[in-house]
């Protein structure tokens, strides 16, 4: 249509005239349409076919699908309208009320500050309160306190009550009977069987990170019938000892000395008393020929390995070591010939716990801690006739009258030590852990030896039983009381303790955790019950918690054990043990606890269940008491907010250690006077530190009596780490090629040649130089030690 044509078109009707009243009618109509509900009009679509399309599709297929989609949309709209409209009508008044309240709240809060910030603060307080209440009332679904808050539901008294309720003497007895029913010398099938048993028990207790860790090194084992000694010209190799409840032939093992040098020797008999350095010097002074002699020495006073090396140094061809115990005269005591004071651990891998290990160890014959002459054990019953034949030489009156004999006597001895050796024999340490919930990287170890010289019913199995029962009880606390210690607790079953403490001197790295760097305390329970007299030896830090435990634990006579503690204090170590490398190489404060007895047949096949029942009828009661003591020590060490170190006792003991060192220096060389002013000043600094530490911990307890805020907890955690480093910073790094490179602690390292009348496990390296009259080196070590102590304990 053209423009002209369009212009000629006449409308069918003129437009309506505007009427103002029509606006009102339209508004009314609009409101009516909004207020009324309506339905979507349903259209009828013809689905009848009209013939196929090319390719076989139907022309009405898309039309049918569209119809079904429209039907679904209509149904959804209908249901939505019926559901949401009533809800909306219900919530709209609430929303309007909340809006009014929010406006009123903003007006009120504006008087005090920014309303937005204040509302966020109120929200934070509300959520925090809810979380704390959820924890307190056990609403948190997991057992572990993953929030890092104190376990308010389980107090220390709750834990101790639980311990007393579940402590099971019958289970301990049956476990002890089983574990001592077989011989289990290190590296044997019995030893491996018990390693697997301990690991399974750890898993049964639900400990974390259970691991059987294999280590390899030099191990000596006996060929049956090829180890012994005899008087030349007489019949009678040494006999095996009688055993309670068993025939001598039943389950017996040959008597041999661990790590002893293989070979045979023959020579004249010499008795050298206890085989100390002084004993051998006295023989030399008396003109007694030691070259080529078969030397008889009694156990005790100094480690067996030191006796052997001293005899070897003086020219002995072989050594026979016997137990000087008349009550067990037929007992043949086994021991290691490794000089553990020179280097504990595997003979061919000297140096103690370390972060690296050479791929191939040294030749055992060249090892500084090993023996180079045959050594065999004997009983007092077999040795007595030989000693009675020695009527000349030096005289000894300490155990009745005995003589040393000399090369002119007609008593000749032949020694055979045809043992099997293996430079890469496997041993097995077993570990299990309970992870801490606040400072899991700080660790407490509860450890015990597992391998035995024979059956080991009480030594070491009493210690294993105590360690296992402590693990079961503490793990049960985590499961039944929803409690976890602040710091991690690791339970260790050491192998190779009779092989020079091999297991505990392999650097303990468990699932990537280097226990040397992380451990705050080591609790050793080797032979936990071999008598009824409580003894505690170790680091002064433990004095308070040991005394507190003994006050609370009752004896079988229902008396406090502290009344039956002769010393009433923790004394310094007097013998070698699994703690040596951990303390002197890693700087871990260590303690050894147990009930001891003088007549116990140590390291003999007489140590059986039958002997226990005969001579220690109340041993199970003492085992229960020992479990209570160890659990209390572990809880204090791992769960006290601040590391429980007895600084006052430490300071007083430091003073006594220095006084003892001064006396030793005067005896070693009366003509030389050393300068001890540096050590005196260092001790004074420790005393000052002690008082500051006591005051600081007291103030902290007052501040956090009601609640410990996060910033206080962070400071406490930092201080615990610093306290752990105090002892590790007292280590003096030494070259691996240097003799006794493992003895790095400038205070707590043993003397190479102990002097029993002195505190030989303190300032050992300084004492060695004083004994050799190397005065300049001794003075240098004193100054180094004084500087370290003064610097470390000068800051708090």
Residue with tokens 């003991």: 653
* Of the residues 639, 663, 694, the one at which a domain ends: 639
- Residue 592 in any domain: the answer is yes
Most confident by average pLDDT, 25-34, 73-82, 486-495, 701-710: 486-495
Which pLDDT band holds residue 28 (cuts at 50, 70, 90)?
very low
pLDDT on residue 130: 78
What is the tens place of the pLDDT at every residue in 450-459? 999 999 999 9
Express as a percent the part of the chain with pLDDT over 90.
57
- Find where tokens 């019950």 sit: 529
Of 612, 639, 666, the position where a domain reaches its end is: 639
Band of residue 662 on the pLDDT scale cut at 50, 70, 90: very high
Using DSSP bridges, classify how beta strands 533-538 and 509-510 pair: parallel, antiparallel or unpaired. unpaired
Residues 558 and 629 in one domain: yes
pLDDT digits 0-9 by tens, 476-521: 999 999 999 999 999 999 999 999 999 999 876 655 667 788 899 9
Which residue from 62, 85, 334 is spatially nearest to 220, judged by alpha carbons?
Answer: 334
Q: Are residues 269 and 293 in the same domain?
A: yes
pLDDT above 50: residue 16: no
Domain assignment of residue 546, yes or no:
yes
Q: What phi, psi does 403 have (nearest 5°)?
A: -120, 155
pLDDT confidence bin for 195, thresholds 50/70/90: very high
Asked, for residue 456, whether it belongs to a domain, the answer is yes
Asked, for residue 151, whether it belongs to a domain, the answer is: no
Is residue 93 a part of any domain in this protein?
no
Q: Scanning the structure block, which residue is given the tokens 């903003």?
A: 106
Does the pLDDT at position 53 exceed 70? no
Q: What pLDDT is attached to residue 66?
A: 64
> What is the pLDDT, as a whole number, of residue 250?
39
In the numeric block, the tokens 């072989």 are attached to: 318
327 confidence band (pLDDT: 50, 70, 90):
confident
Beta-carbon contacts of residue 67 (< 8 Å; ≥ 6 apart): 45, 47
CA separation, residue 741 to residues 346, 538, 584, 698, 752 (Å) = 14, 21, 10, 40, 12
Alpha carbon distance 334, 336 (integer Å): 7
Q: Identify whether residues 557 and 658 lie together within a single domain.
A: no
Which pLDDT value is given to residue 237? 47
Q: Which of 441, 449, 485, 480 is nearest to 467 (CA)?
A: 449
The predicted structure's pLDDT at residue 229: 93
User: pLDDT over 70 for what percent of the chain?
Assistant: 82
Residues 597 and 658 both lie in one domain:
no
Which residue from 731, 571, 732 is spatially nearest to 653, judged by alpha carbons?
571
Residues 530 and 423 in one domain: yes
CATH of the domain at 658: 1.20.930.40
- Out of 43-47, 298-302, 510-514, pick the least confident: 43-47
Binning pLDDT at 50, 70 and 90, where does residue 702 land?
confident
Q: What is the mean pLDDT of the chain?
A: 84
Is residue 60 within 8 A of residue 47, CB to CB? The reply is yes
380-384 mean pLDDT: 93
Residues 672, 592 within the same domain: no
Q: Whose structure tokens read 């099997």?
A: 420
629/719 same-domain check: no
> What's the whole-model pTM score?
0.80
Q: Of the candidates 592, 579, 628, which has an alpha carbon nearest to the alpha carbon of residue 470?
A: 628
Please check whether residue 463 lies inside any domain of the structure.
yes
The answer on pLDDT for 58 being more than 50 is: no
Instruction: Determine the pLDDT at residue 225.
Output: 60
How many structural domains compose the chain?
A: 2
Residue 596, both tokens: 């001891």
Plot region of 571 (φ>0 → left; ψ -120 to 50 → alpha; else → beta) = beta
Residue 135 lies in a domain: no
CATH assignment at residue 584? 3.40.630.10
- Measured at the CA of 736, the angle between CA 735 and CA 738, to 5 degrees, comes to 65
Residues 624 and 691 in one domain: no
Is the domain of 657 the same as that of 737? yes
Task: Output the pLDDT for position 795.
Answer: 64
Chain centroid, CA 518 distance in Å: 10
Looking at residue 291, what is its pLDDT?
A: 95
Domain that holds residue 753: 647-792
- pLDDT of 64 reads 60
Structure confidence at residue 733 (pLDDT): 84
Q: What are phi and psi of 407, to 5 degrees?
A: -70, -10
The token pair at 348 is 């061919």
Question: Are residue 285 and residue 262 in the same domain, yes or no?
Answer: yes
Q: Is residue 146 part of a domain?
A: no
Q: Please tell me what DSSP assigns to residue 116.
A: H
Q: Are residues 687 and 763 in the same domain?
A: yes
Residues 726 and 614 both lie in one domain: no
Interacting residues of 476 by C-beta distance below 8 A, sequence separation 6+: 162, 166, 205
Q: Pick from 580, 612, 639: which residue ends a domain?
A: 639
């Amino acid at each position: 249509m053209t423009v002209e044509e369009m212009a000629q078109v006449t409308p069918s009707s003129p437009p309506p005239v505007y009427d103002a009243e029509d606006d009102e009618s339209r508004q009314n109509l609009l409101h009516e349409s909004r207020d009324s509900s309506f339905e979507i009009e349903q259209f009828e679509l013809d689905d009848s076919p009209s013939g196929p399309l090319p390719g076989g599709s139907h022309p009405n297929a898309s039309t049918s699908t569209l119809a079904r989609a429209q039907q679904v949309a209509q149904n959804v709209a209908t249901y939505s309208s019926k559901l949401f409209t009533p809800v909306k009508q219900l919530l709209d008044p609430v929303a309007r009320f909340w809006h009014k309240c929010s406006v009123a709240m903003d007006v009120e809060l504006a008087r005090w500050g920014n309303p937005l910030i204040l509302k966020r603060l109120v929200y934070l307080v509300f959520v925090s309160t809810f979380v704390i209440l959820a924890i307190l009332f056990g609403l948190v679904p997991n057992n572990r306190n993953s929030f890092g808050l104190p376990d308010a539901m389980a107090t220390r008294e709750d834990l101790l009550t639980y311990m007393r309720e579940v402590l099971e003497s019958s289970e301990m007895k049956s476990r002890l009977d089983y574990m001592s029913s077989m011989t289990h010398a290190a590296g044997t099938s019995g030893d491996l069987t018990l390693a697997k048993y301990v690991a399974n028990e750890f898993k049964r207790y639900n400990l974390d990170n259970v691991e059987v860790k294999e280590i390899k090194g030099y191990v000596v084992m006996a060929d049956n019938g090829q180890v012994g000694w005899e008087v030349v010209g007489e019949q009678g190799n040494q006999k095996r000892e009688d055993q309670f409840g068993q025939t001598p032939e039943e389950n017996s093992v040959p008597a041999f000395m661990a790590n002893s040098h293989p070979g045979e020797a023959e020579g004249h008999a010499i008795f050298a008393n206890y085989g100390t350095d002084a004993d051998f010097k006295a023989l030399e002074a008396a003109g007694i020929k030691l070259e080529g002699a078969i030397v008889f020495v009694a156990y005790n006073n100094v480690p067996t390995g030191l006796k052997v090396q001293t005899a070897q140094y003086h020219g002995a061809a072989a050594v026979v070591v016997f137990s000087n115990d008349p009550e067990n005269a037929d007992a043949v005591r086994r021991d290691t010939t490794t000089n553990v004071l020179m280097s504990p651990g595997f003979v061919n891998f000297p140096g103690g716990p370390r972060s690296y290990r050479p791929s191939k160890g040294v030749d055992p014959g060249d090892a500084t801690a090993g023996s180079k002459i045959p050594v065999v054990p004997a009983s007092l019953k077999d040795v007595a006739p030989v000693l009675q034949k020695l009527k000349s030489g030096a005289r000894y009156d300490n155990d009745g009258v005995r003589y040393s004999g000399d090369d002119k006597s007609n008593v000749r001895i032949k020694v055979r030590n045809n043992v099997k050796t293996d430079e890469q024999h496997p041993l097995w340490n077993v570990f299990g852990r309970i992870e801490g919930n606040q400072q899991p990287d700080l660790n407490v170890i509860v450890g015990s030896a597992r391998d035995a010289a024979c059956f080991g019913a009480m030594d070491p199995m009493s210690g294993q039983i105590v360690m296992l029962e402590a693990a079961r009880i503490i793990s049960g606390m985590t499961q039944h009381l929803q409690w976890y210690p602040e710091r991690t607790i690791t339970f260790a079953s050491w192998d190779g303790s009779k092989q020079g403490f091999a297991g505990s001197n392999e650097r303990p790295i468990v699932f990537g955790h280097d226990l040397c760097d992380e451990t705050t305390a080591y609790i050793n329970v080797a032979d936990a019950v071999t008598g009824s007299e409580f003894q505690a030896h170790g680091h002064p830090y433990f004095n308070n918690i040991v005394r507190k435990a003994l006050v609370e634990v009752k004896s079988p006579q229902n008396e406090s054990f502290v009344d039956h503690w002769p010393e009433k204090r923790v004394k310094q170590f007097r013998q070698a043990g699994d703690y040596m490398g951990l303390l002197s190489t890693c700087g871990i404060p260590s303690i050894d606890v147990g009930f001891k007895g003088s007549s116990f047949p140590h390291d003999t096949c007489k140590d059986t269940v039958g002997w226990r029942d005969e001579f220690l009828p109340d041993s199970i009661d003492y085992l229960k008491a020992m479990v209570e003591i160890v659990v209390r020590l572990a809880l204090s060490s791992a769960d006290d907010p601040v590391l429980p170190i007895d600084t006052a006792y430490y300071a007083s003991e430091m003073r006594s250690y220095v006084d003892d060192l001064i006396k030793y220096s005067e005896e070693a060389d009366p003509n030389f006077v050393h300068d001890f002013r540096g050590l005196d000043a260092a001790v004074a600094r420790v005393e000052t530190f002690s008082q500051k530490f006591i005051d600081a911990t007291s103030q902290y307890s007052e501040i956090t009596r009601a609640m410990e805020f996060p910033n206080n907890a962070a400071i406490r955690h930092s201080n615990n780490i610093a306290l752990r480093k105090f002892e590790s910073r007292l280590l003096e790094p030494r070259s691996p090629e240097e003799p006794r490179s493992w003895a790095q602690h400038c205070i707590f390292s043993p003397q190479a040649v102990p002097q029993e009348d002195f505190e030989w496990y303190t300032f050992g390296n300084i004492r060695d130089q004083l004994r050799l009259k190397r005065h300049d080196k001794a003075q240098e070590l004193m100054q180094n030690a004084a500087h370290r102590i003064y610097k470390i304990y000068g800051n708090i």
